[in-house]
């Protein structure tokens, strides 16, 4: 993460989704990995962590998701006829940061982009020391430590020269989730949580949906997509003290129902650092991009109108 600091963080008295199902206890994070987890009370030494969250039973922690999302194209998602090539690289970087923050604050801790401007994604990943995925034609994007690269060769998808499968098989629409899907395609959705909710409601099996939403972590070998010792400290936390998320947690089925509601998380951890907490983005500063967009597109429209006027005069 961009802070460059390593903070010990303890979550206690919380529900968390491990590979064997939901457990009640604690999760200890130090750096980019979960260092310990367990049912019951943590060791007293862990209580001395710099950050201690005691949820008193009113929270659910799950592994963060990975989806194919709009990043560079975030501001024009769902629109057509807008050419982003009119923007400079620096302008696109500012626009893309807004798209990246939107993904992270909605629990997409490993966002993946398919864009005509992969160099912008590479720039942002390097600048902030974030891990971001890119899908690109084979040989067009250089590998680097901050990019998880999927390469396309015709219909086939490769990861580090390993054939993963056909694009139509491993990439799926949220409305058509399946076991072979490693990456739901949420591009074009006005709100990412809508795509997440669609994945849950269509599959009708919360655990299957959760696996699909975290499958990219497994495919790339980063971790197993659950909250347990050794997993990446990419976490989403639902605080049930928030009256908009409160629900009874009486049976082990109830935390799955909470995930299936697909509300925005209250806290998002990425790489062991707090990225988003209670409505506030704490990691990536974003600037107002509305003036950049209006100025650039106003100029383009002016040029287009002049061209049309000259064309009409000549005829």
**Tens of pLDDT, residues 66-119:** 999 999 999 988 888 788 888 999 999 999 999 999 999 999 999 999 999 999
| Pair 230, 207 in one domain | no
Q: State the pLDDT at residue 313.
A: 52
| Pair 215, 230 in one domain | no
Under the banding of pLDDT at 50, 70 and 90, the label for residue 304 is very low
| Pair 201, 238 in one domain | no
Neighbour tally for 203: CB within 10 Å: 22
| Pair 38, 82 in one domain | no
Mean pLDDT, rounded, for 173-183 = 94
| Pair 212, 229 in one domain | no
Task: Tokens for 172, please give them.
Answer: 């799926």
| Pair 191, 97 in one domain | yes
Could you give the angle at the alpha carbon of 107 between the alpha carbons of 261 and 30, nearest 5°? 125
Q: Do 196 and 65 form a contact (C-beta atoms < 8 A)?
A: yes
Number of independent structural domains in the chain: 2
In a domain, 18, yes or no: yes
Under the banding of pLDDT at 50, 70 and 90, the label for residue 1 is very low
| Pair 30, 122 in one domain | no
Q: Do 26 and 13 form a contact (C-beta atoms < 8 A)?
A: yes
Task: Indicate yes or no: pTM above 0.85.
Answer: yes
In a domain, 314, yes or no: no
| Pair 174, 125 in one domain | yes
pLDDT at 298 over 90: no
Residue 231 sits in which domain range? 8-63+225-281
Choose among 259, 148, 270: nearest CA to 199.
Answer: 259
Specify the higher pLDDT residue, 279 or 130: 130
pLDDT at 7 over 90: no
Q: State the pLDDT at residue 64.
A: 98
| Pair 199, 98 in one domain | yes
pLDDT at 62 over 60: yes
Task: Tokens for 257, please give them.
Answer: 């129902």
Neighbour tally for 252: CB within 10 Å: 12
In a domain, 265, yes or no: yes
Mean pLDDT, rounded, for 215-219 = 97
pLDDT at 263 over 80: yes
């Amino acid at each position: 993460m961009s802070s460059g600091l390593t903070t010990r963080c303890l979550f206690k008295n919380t529900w968390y989704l491990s590979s064997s199902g939901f457990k009640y206890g604690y999760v200890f994070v130090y750096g980019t990995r979960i260092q310990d987890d367990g049912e019951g009370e943590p060791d007293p030494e862990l209580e001395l962590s710099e950050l201690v969250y005691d949820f008193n039973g009113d929270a659910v922690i799950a592994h963060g998701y990975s989806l194919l999302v709009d990043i560079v194209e975030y501001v024009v998602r769902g629109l057509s006829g807008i050419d982003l090539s009119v923007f400079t690289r620096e302008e696109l970087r500012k626009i893309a940061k807004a798209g990246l923050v939107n993904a992270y604050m909605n629990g997409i801790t490993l966002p993946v982009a398919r864009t005509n401007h992969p160099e912008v994604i590479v720039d942002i990943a390097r600048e902030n020391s974030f891990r971001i995925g890119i899908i690109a034609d084979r040989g067009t994007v250089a590998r680097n430590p901050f990019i998880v690269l999927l390469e396309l060769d015709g219909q086939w998808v490769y990861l580090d020269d390993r054939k993963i499968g056909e694009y139509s098989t491993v990439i799926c629409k949220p409305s058509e989730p399946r076991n072979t899907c490693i990456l739901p395609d949420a591009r074009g959705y006005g709100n990412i949580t809508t795509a997440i909710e669609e994945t849950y409601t269509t599959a009708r099996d919360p655990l299957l949906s959760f696996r699909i939403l975290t499958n990219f972590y497994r495919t790339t070998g980063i971790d197993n997509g659950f909250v347990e010792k050794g997993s990446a400290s990419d976490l989403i936390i639902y605080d049930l003290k928030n009256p908009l998320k409160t629900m009874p947690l009486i049976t082990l089925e109830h935390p799955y129902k909470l995930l299936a509601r697909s509300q925005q998380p209250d806290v998002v951890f990425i790489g062991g650092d707090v990225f988003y907490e209670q409505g506030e983005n704490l990691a990536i500063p974003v600037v107002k991009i509305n003036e950049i967009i209006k100025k650039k597109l106003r100029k383009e429209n002016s040029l287009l109108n002049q061209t049309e006027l000259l064309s009409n005069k000549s005829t």
